[in-house]
A and B are shown apart, each in its own frame.
Chain A
Amino acid sequence: DAGITQSPRYKITETGRQVTLMCHQTWSHSYMFWYRQDLGHGLRLIYYSAAADITDKGEVPDGYVVSRSKTENFPLTLESATRSQTSVYFCASSDPNGRGGARTQYFGPGTRLTVL
């Protein structure tokens, strides 16, 4: 039961570089989410996707791009990384038809990103 995985787990990059964080889930959940977690803010939603080829902005989408060509993958791209994007990024998925319905989200292990 692989569940939901993220890669890389740790990443250090420089200001201005493009970075892509990967998220993969094996459950065929229709919904997927990207959050960032910072001290003093808790988890904040960046983008979410209701299904393949359907994405929508969350609370803090600026500076990020997502795509979802396949149900199981939901990559997050920082087009030109800034120091303020240093954070821990969590991917999550949920299944409207599963136990707990769409409201229960399952999180990946996170990616710790540092932008120098």
Chain B
Amino acid sequence: RKEVEQDPGPFNVPEGATVAFNCTYSNSASQSFFWYRQDCRKEPKLLMSVYSSGNEDGRFTAQLNRASQYISLLIRDSKLSDSATYLCVVNRVAETGANNLFFGTGTRLTVIP
């Protein structure tokens, strides 16, 4: 079973729409949770961390349910510039003390004019 599972999409939505992505993780020892964004043929970049209480950053809202091992990302009022692949990422501390990240395969979003 994969460490992190995401719906690969693609999601094609019109500008202004609200879109939600979901993700599940398999290891209950996972400690921290993130959404990264990756543009086509570019490197991943941190979009936002995800906290148990839920957190918001402008049009983006992230939620975490530790009991269900489920993470979500909601994008409101979609912009053309939101078109990208969104990677669900979890963190676990290795025995060596390193913070290792485990990545989902990503959900591709295209916002249509």
Chain A: residues with CB nearer than 8 A to chain B?
31, 33, 35, 40-45, 48, 50, 56, 58, 90, 94, 96, 100-105, 107-110
| Any A CB within 8 A of the CB of B1 | no
Contact with A along B31-46 (1 / 0, CB 8 A): 0101000000011111
Number of interface residues of B (CB under 8 A): 23
Q: Is the CB of B103 within 8 A of A42?
A: yes
Contact among B32, B34, B46, B101 with A45 in the assembled complex (CB-CB below 8 Å): B101
6 contacts between A and B (CB under 8 A): A43-B103, A50-B97, A56-B94, A103-B49, A107-B45, A110-B42
Q: Is the CB of A109 within 8 A of B43?
A: yes
Count of inter-chain pairs, beta carbons less than 8 A:
55
* Beta-carbon nearest neighbor of A102 in chain B: B99
Q: Which of B19-61 contact A (CB under 8 A)?
A: 32, 34, 42-46, 49
Q: A50-B97, A100-B46, A103-B91 are in contact. List 13 more A-B contacts (CB 8 A).
A: A31-B99, A35-B103, A42-B104, A42-B106, A48-B100, A56-B94, A56-B96, A94-B99, A102-B99, A105-B46, A107-B44, A107-B45, A108-B43
Q: How far is the CA of A56 from the CA of B87 in the complex (A)?
A: 24
Q: Is the CB of B100 within 8 A of A58?
A: yes
Contact among B34, B98, B99, B103 with A56 in the assembled complex (CB-CB below 8 Å): B98
Q: How far is the CA of A48 from the CA of B98 in the complex (A)?
A: 8
Q: Closest Cβ of chain B: how far from A112's Cβ, in Å?
A: 8
Q: Which of B94, B99, B102 has the largest count of A CB atoms less than 10 A from its CB?
A: B99
Across-interface contacts of B106 in A (CB, < 8 A): 42
Contact among A50, A58, A104, A109 with B42 in the assembled complex (CB-CB below 8 Å): A109
| Any A CB within 8 A of the CB of B4 | yes
Across-interface contacts of A56 in B (CB, < 8 A): 94, 96, 98
* Beta-carbon nearest neighbor of A94 in chain B: B99
Across-interface contacts of A101 in B (CB, < 8 A): 99
